[in-house]
Structure 1
Amino acid sequence: MNLRWGHRPRERSRAWGRAADLMLGVRFAFTGGREGWTRAVLTAVGVGLGVALLLLTTALPNALAVRHDREAARTDITFSGERMPRANDTLVVANVGTDFRDDTVRGRALEPEGPRAPLPPGVEKFPAVGEMVVSPALKELLESDSGALLRERLPDRIVGTIGEPGLIGSAELAFYRGADGLAPHIDSGRITRIDRFGNPNPGPERSDPVLLLLILVVFVVLLMPVAVFIAAAVRFGGERRDRRLAALRLVGSDSGMTRRIAAGEALAGAVLGLVFGAGFFMIGRQLAGTAEVFRISVFPSYLNPSPLLALLVAVAVPAAAVLVTLFALRSVVIEPLGVVRAGRPTRRRLWWRLLLPLAGLAMLYPMIGNGRENGDFNQYLVTGGVVLLLVGVTALLPWIVETVVARLGSGGVAWQLAVRRLQMSSGTAARMVNGIAVAVAGAIALQMLFAGVEGDYTRPTGQDVSLAQMEVALPSEVPVAPAAEKFRDTEGVNAVYAYSEGYVGDRAREPDASMMLTVGDCASLRMMAGLPSCRDGDVFAVHGAEWDGDVDVAKLATPGRKLYLDPSYEGSPKSLEIPWTVPQGVKAAKPKRGLLAGIDRGGLLITPKAAPDSLAPGLTGHAYLKLDESVTDVHERVRNTAAAVDPLADAMLWSATERTGRFDAIRTGLFVGAACVLALIGASLLVSQLEQLRERKRLLSALVAFGTRRRTLSLSVLWQTAVPIALGLLLASVVGLTLGAVLLKMTNTPVRVDWAGVLSMTGIGAAVVLAVTLFSLPPLLRLMRPEGLRTE
């Protein structure tokens, strides 16, 4: 009993001694003169940049959730199918949004029907007719010279701005305008009546396993380079630090105490890095409120990191700094008279480095062939497998650099200086490019995965962009012919194909058979069917169109038969039920795959003279425009004409294909994250490069003093960067292609290599390193002075 208790004070004193060693290292970091605090600041800057991006990443889920909640809270136009009766708490809302160049402008026209009508989020009072409230970004655009064309489209007087609760981002373009006379058009699809804002039926979205896999891999790929850079940043100034530690051995510290003191120095830099990171994060948080990246913007208040994740970062970073430092010193012998580092080191072993990527492949292998049919992918296996493969890059690269540079031959003076430096410190050179290699490997894998599954989320629209580039949907009360003339008079419009359409049935209510009725000029009708001949006043019946299904067009189109335009159906609002008698002289026409509408339009085709005015209320107009794309802002001119024809006219750009919104959102998120990671990579590499130059200040000054040309030294620095980055990018390409192929196999997608994407990702990584090297040349030239030999 006494023996057991007797050991506790000794264990306690040993623990206190180790803690005291760590604290001594912390003191040396800040009180060890200029060398100490310079190294601490450099470490803090490198760690701080990584911590800031980690905090931004931990804040990203909250930002996306807030954007989603804001979007849901202002939802107004839904397709519930139920028509709400008018009351003193109802509001009629019309979608009058538009596009301006590449930006979407969210617009709503509001007509309150009572004193208790709900106000949209962020709006203090309803604008009157001729007035509008706008988002701050839209107000700035409308008041600028670049928004002159948009101002023509939105001539209402601005009487206020939309508050933050009514916007999903600081750069969003949005407006609410006053309106009247909207209620009669509620069933048009763009107008509805509501008694509150918000989605009335927020059903759960069906999860797509492949999209969830994409999100998971994106997060891992974006965060891995950050972790690698933080691990590299805590080792800044390692060689000078080890020489200072030799002095501690001289005054009596043992090797264990010396290593703990070194870990304490790293701990000080990491803790200071947390402070810097918090400051960088606050600065970045405010800048995020004024920036827009890939059309995505947020308010600073959105970027609130999860407290649990922020605490994890605060604990993990200092702990990682201590562990990385102790791991780095395991092969360094610090003696009282110097550091045994310059001796011939033992060759790095390859076998355990290969185990990491092989283990990663083993974790991903069970999910190969899963596809969408076998449920969600195991997120732990996916995360672990991708992490191990990318960590394998950081483990293999030092061995590859050491092996290659050991065999490099002779060359010019600059080449020899670079090669000798790499042979002496290949590990330092590999650490500098590890982050780039990991980022490029992950980017190549994601590029392959996105390119492989893109076809599953892309579908053809059926729109022939060689015939028309824009379509304008006109409200039912707008006459098509005058509107078409206005479009023809618009600058940049080469041709206009316009028609109106509706449905006719054999009875006014609950018809047994119905078919489409189209009214247009001969040029437009020829785009829809094969006509024998055509002149104004003709009527055609299209027989055998696939669109008509089992409808007997010949029977319905019998001359003298009474049909009803816009018949009523049970459960739907009462329709117009306009009677119309089929005229004499109906000609037969052949179906043609619709060149404009994308369908083989059947039913009746009528030229304007054969259509009585009574049909107009039951028809909806469309205009298809062929444009001269060389005319500046031709799309904006067309949209302005559409707004002049009717504020509810909807002008749409044509495209041959369209992608799923969620897929596009994930891809945009990847681009935003990649831009942030590349900025971190560039900044961290620059700090690392400056730290390396600072450590070699005396050596560079000595070489210059002995007559070495500065051009030669500059080239040697370039070679020292170029050789490791070339090896790193080659390794990243191999690992990235392997990971991309495995991910495609997991999604049950044929493996195809997007070589253009691979080369572009590799080129971007090389360009970042080249830019960092060029930025480091001015400090290098300042260091290459004989005055650098001075010492105290």
Structure 2
Amino acid sequence: MSDVTYAEKATGTGPALPGGPPPDPRGTLRVWADDLRMGLAFALRGGREGWMRTVLTAIGVGLGVALLLLTTAIPGALADRDQRDNDRVEVLASDAEYTGDTVLVGTADTEYHDTAIRGRLLRPEGAGAPLPPGVAEFPKPGEMVVSPALADLLDDPGAGLLRERLDYGIAGTVSDAGLVDPGDLTYYAGSDDIEAADVNVSRVVDFGEESADRAMDPVLLLLAMIVFVALLMPVAVFLIAAVRFGGDRRDRRLAALRLVGADGRAVRRIAAGEALAGALLGLAVGTLLFLAGRELAGGVTVYDMSIFAADLNPSPMLALLVALAVPAAAVGVTLLALRGVVIEPLGVVRSARPARRRIWWRLLLPAVGLALLAPMMGRGDDAGSFPEWQVIGGTVLLLTGITALLPWLVEAVVARLGRGPTSWQLAVRRLQLSSGTAARLVNGIAVAVAGAIALQMVFTGVEDDYSEATGHDTARFQLGIYVDAGQDLRVGEKVAAAEGVEETVSRISVEVADRARDPENFATLTVGTCAKLRTLAKLPDCRDGDVFRLTDTYGAAGTGRMIGAGGPLYLNPSYEGMPGKAIPWTPPAGTRTAKALRDDDGNLYDGIVATPGAVPDVHDSGVFNGWIDVRLDPAVPDAAERVRNVVDGTDPLLSVHTLDDYLVAEEFAGIRTGLAVGAACVLVLIGSSLLVGQLEQLRERRKLLSSLVAFGTRRSTLSLSVLWQTAIPVALGMTLSMGFGLVLGTVLLRMADTPVAVDWASVLLMAGAGAGVVAAVTGLSMPLLIRLMRPDGLRTE
């Protein structure tokens, strides 16, 4: 029998023979490998308890891995999406490029039930005319090729009004190369009516342009970085919690190994091997979940955005990083968790009162995070981009402070709790014995809520900087129609007679000047009914045939000189180097003055206003632009679609706009959409992981629950105790997350140089959403709890 102990053999630290060589490092690696392999065997072949724990760990890790793989794939998918959008941009032909091998393209965009439909009318000029991407051949006049999503929409029995508008025969389908995403509603129709001189018609020599690398606004870049951190931090927290499922049972099994000679370091390596097995199996589960989810991605649309499944390919380097980091984290977290556990041959010293948690280093993490973010306060977007790693590092440390402080807070609070009903006492006693486990289950939701609160504060604070009031009276008018010079101004009369239209107000305008070419004085001539003109100026009285010169405006002096000269004025004057079609117009005698009113932006209307009787050729001159406001009857279904059909029947190149109170910057809206999509995925992960953890906790306490029932404890009491065990840490976690979220949101607003304001309704809504997820998980775990409280849970082997 050798005198070398198991511990000395396992660590390679046995006594060296006199004069012999030092311990071989390769022996140490071999011992590590043997112990890890033994842990793998326990996880996979250690009986029902062993593989149940491994399966639960794999599910928890797999959910996190699937989301991480999705995160690594999304940047590439969005880049491919943008590239396909760039590929179908029309490259206009200049006179020098025009060779006859071009195509006339008319813009015929429309909407259907507030969903945008991209439409193009095509008329090839020459055999070599370029084809739009995704189109195999030009459709003949009266035919169109459509995207698969639009084909499905047209097949819908309720889409009769849309079929009436797009009254073309379907000759083919646009392939994926010509679509930005699976839900893209696009059509290309053949036409022999459009001409190069028509409004909204362009002569195109090619399709596609290089994507321009534009620098993002610094504040928007800051928002994007915080969204990235806020969405991935909960995933990392849950991955760490998942590898610790079933820790109590595992430690008791490891105690048996001490009886056969394994030392403390050896059993820790074996425990790391068990965690490694769960992590590796979780990688496989996560990969399968990601592949399955990718196949379903094309059929899912969130906030009018979807992605082709073929585009969801994770970056190889990032995927490799995930594959290496997850097992390494599992081993590291397990070894770190076992540092405070004494595993002896006759049991585990965990039930004894643990040493009181220290708070100083827990406060140090958020303090360092704030120290990193503080120097950037007040920068706004004037000093260039924010340092990426400083922003990410400071935010990560600040949010990590939640995971460090929550166990201390739960322990400190439950230590002072006591009296109450039996269910309360059972819950409090359980929390006093294992407050760390309860805090781990809530950490992820607390981090997610804190990040959501901070982002909500920032989005609300900077929203005004990235949105602009349109000035439209959306309470009165819901649609607007812009009519360019040369288009049919009488469309307003046709719209007014459409079913579901209560009122239309038209405003027609053109530039008027004192000379036909290169005028010295010029102004805007606006033509409308007396009712419309009264929204522009304070009119003394008005009847058809009147003309008014607006006063108290910037251009009032020049307008007065034009009118006072008494000669003819010219509509649509031309300037040097620009062709024009100037039309003489003589204002009627007796032109009066009127005081201009301010528009919704506070600016005074300017120029000359006239009634239709004063400008007899307004519809036929071809120089007036028009805007028609339309009020719909809410009692008439699909009134907006009927208006669009009337307009399309008049001229398919005319477009009908849904009026909005505000226009939001595209990049800002994109980041907000990304947050919404990511938050939905994280909430699914949070709920799923919490449910797995809750089920594991209940499974470990099966004998205890059965014993309490056998001694006469009511099942309702035990159910309430489980609810209290969840509610207390959740309440503490939500309180902590609200505090950290408000701090982080305040710091970020100061970094963006934006006044700090708190929308308490949104803050409470975020906290309530987090608590709601936990409540739902607790409810879903009740069936298992009821089953585990049966007397046969006392059976043992």
TM-score range (shorter-chain normalised) is over 0.9
Change (3 A) 1:109 1:220: same
> Is residue 91–residue 117 contact of structure 1 (8 Å, CA) maintained in 2?
yes
Instruction: Compute the displacement of 1:315 (Å).
Output: 0.6
In 2, distance between residues paired with 1:6 and 1:61? Answer: 58
Answering whether residue 712 of structure 2 is matched by residue 707 of structure 1, we say yes
Amino acid at match of 1:91: V
Answering whether residue 144 of structure 2 is matched by residue 135 of structure 1, we say no
Give the corresponding residue for 2:758: 753
Answering whether residue 308 of structure 2 is matched by residue 299 of structure 1, we say yes
Instruction: Compute the displacement of 1:560 (Å).
Output: 6.2
Give the corresponding residue for 1:717: 722
In 2, distance between residues paired with 1:112 and 1:576? Answer: 29
Please list, as runs of the form range in 1=range in 2, the aligned pairs for 1:50-61 lying within 5 A after superposition: 50-61=64-75
Answering whether residue 171 of structure 2 is matched by residue 159 of structure 1, we say yes
**Higher mean displacement: 580-589 or 336-345:** 580-589
Please list, as runs of the form range in 1=range in 2, the aligned pairs for 1:9-408 lying within 5 A after superposition: 10-76=24-90, 86-186=98-198, 188=199, 190-199=200-209, 203-408=212-417
Instruction: Compute the displacement of 1:182 (Å).
Output: 2.5
Q: Deviation string for 1:327-354 (max 9, x for gaps)?
A: 1111111111111111111111111111
In 1, distance between residues paired with 2:45 and 2:330? Answer: 20
**Higher mean displacement: 639-648 or 529-538:** 529-538
In 1, distance between residues paired with 2:636 and 2:371? Answer: 57
Match of 1:512 among 509, 520, 532: 520
In 2, distance between residues paired with 1:741 and 1:660? Answer: 23
Change (3 A) 1:632 1:3: farther
> Is residue 131–residue 156 contact of structure 1 (8 Å, CA) maintained in 2?
yes
Instruction: Compute the displacement of 1:544 (Å).
Output: 4.3
Answering whether residue 502 of structure 2 is matched by residue 494 of structure 1, we say yes
**Higher mean displacement: 128-137 or 758-767:** 128-137
Match of 1:561 among 567, 574, 583: 567
**Higher mean displacement: 649-658 or 333-342:** 649-658
Give the corresponding residue for 1:656: 661
Amino acid at match of 1:535: R
Please list, as runs of the form range in 1=range in 2, the aligned pairs for 1:710-789 lying within 5 A after superposition: 710-789=715-794
Change (3 A) 1:771 1:571: farther
> Is residue 152–residue 640 contact of structure 1 (8 Å, CA) maintained in 2?
yes
Instruction: Compute the displacement of 1:577 (Å).
Output: 2.6
SS at match of 2:366: helix
Change (3 A) 1:14 1:96: same
Change (3 A) 1:551 1:522: same
Instruction: Compute the displacement of 1:472 (Å).
Output: 0.7
Give the corresponding residue for 1:450: 459
Unaligned runs of 5+ in 1: none
**Higher mean displacement: 608-617 or 778-787:** 608-617
In 2, distance between residues paired with 1:558 and 1:151? Answer: 55
> Is residue 401–residue 727 contact of structure 1 (8 Å, CA) maintained in 2?
yes
Answering whether residue 653 of structure 2 is matched by residue 638 of structure 1, we say no
Instruction: Compute the displacement of 1:609 (Å).
Output: 6.0
> Is residue 478–residue 621 contact of structure 1 (8 Å, CA) maintained in 2?
no
In 2, distance between residues paired with 1:337 and 1:363? Answer: 48
Match of 2:701 among 671, 692, 696: 696
Give the corresponding residue for 1:522: 530
Amino acid at match of 1:244: R
Instruction: Compute the displacement of 1:670 (Å).
Output: 0.5
Q: Deviation string for 1:545-569 (max 9, x for gaps)?
A: 33xx376223323586333332222
Q: Deviation string for 1:1-54 (max 9, x for gaps)?
A: x99996566221112101211111011111111111111111111001000100
Instruction: Compute the displacement of 1:218 (Å).
Output: 0.5
Change (3 A) 1:72 1:688: same
Change (3 A) 1:191 1:84: farther
In 1, distance between residues paired with 2:193 and 2:541? Answer: 43
In 2, distance between residues paired with 1:417 and 1:592? Answer: 73
Q: Deviation string for 1:501-531 (max 9, x for gaps)?
A: 2223333333333322233333333333333
Q: Deviation string for 1:400-452 (max 9, x for gaps)?
A: 11111111112112111111111111111000111000000111111111111
In 1, distance between residues paired with 2:33 and 2:355? Answer: 32
Amino acid at match of 2:159: G
* Structure-1-length-normalised TM-score: 0.94
Change (3 A) 1:197 1:77: closer
Amino acid at match of 1:192: S
**Higher mean displacement: 57-66 or 129-138:** 129-138
Q: Deviation string for 1:563-582 (max 9, x for gaps)?
A: 3332222333x222333344
Change (3 A) 1:284 1:591: same
Q: Deviation string for 1:239-270 (max 9, x for gaps)?
A: 11111111111111111000000000000110
SS at match of 2:207: coil
In 2, distance between residues paired with 1:558 and 1:127? Answer: 57
SS at match of 2:717: helix
Instruction: Compute the displacement of 1:219 (Å).
Output: 0.1
Change (3 A) 1:614 1:469: closer
Change (3 A) 1:391 1:9: same
In 2, distance between residues paired with 1:664 and 1:240? Answer: 49
Change (3 A) 1:322 1:461: same
Amino acid at match of 2:780: F
**Higher mean displacement: 307-316 or 551-560:** 551-560
- Identity score, percent: 55
Instruction: Compute the displacement of 1:755 (Å).
Output: 0.7
* Structure-2-length-normalised TM-score: 0.94
**Higher mean displacement: 621-630 or 494-503:** 621-630
Answering whether residue 482 of structure 2 is matched by residue 473 of structure 1, we say yes
SS at match of 1:129: coil
In 2, distance between residues paired with 1:267 and 1:642? Answer: 66
Instruction: Compute the displacement of 1:640 (Å).
Output: 2.5
In 2, distance between residues paired with 1:616 and 1:303? Answer: 54
> Is residue 118–residue 197 contact of structure 1 (8 Å, CA) maintained in 2?
yes
Match of 1:552 among 558, 561, 570: 558
Instruction: Compute the displacement of 1:749 (Å).
Output: 1.2
> Is residue 135–residue 163 contact of structure 1 (8 Å, CA) maintained in 2?
yes
Change (3 A) 1:108 1:776: same
In 2, distance between residues paired with 1:302 and 1:551? Answer: 61
Q: Deviation string for 1:472-506 (max 9, x for gaps)?
A: 1124444434x223222233322211132222333
Change (3 A) 1:106 1:569: same
Change (3 A) 1:563 1:182: farther
Instruction: Compute the displacement of 1:363 (Å).
Output: 0.9
Instruction: Compute the displacement of 1:593 (Å).
Output: 2.7
Change (3 A) 1:507 1:254: same
> Is residue 474–residue 661 contact of structure 2 (8 Å, CA) maintained in 1?
yes
Amino acid at match of 2:167: P
SS at match of 1:330: helix
Unaligned runs of 5+ in 2: 1-15
Amino acid at match of 2:51: W
